[in-house]
Amino acid sequence: MTMVRHTIQFFGNVQGVGFRYTACAVAKHFDITGYVRNCSNGSVELIIEGTSRETKLFLDSLREKMSGHIEKVKITESQATAEFFGFGIR
């Protein structure tokens, strides 16, 4: 299967609300790798790699759990690099 990489920025009330920990908890249920981190501009950056199906299912689940906090999402897709082993917080 073809692997993809998504770089996602979440904007809104996304810091200090358990967003990163929720992302880690949700990631355990999907075959994805990458990380989540807070950014200095108040957004949360998420970089994930996996199949198109797994990344979509993961993002749908995360958006559902954090829907009250997300105002805007910016997604960039590129080729996977296979540089990650597991998913974590940075």
Q: Which residues are catalytic?
A: 20, 38
- Contact between 43 and 20 under an 8 Å Cβ cutoff? The reply is no
| Strand ranges for the chain from DSSP E | 3-12, 33-38, 44-51, 70-79, 87-89
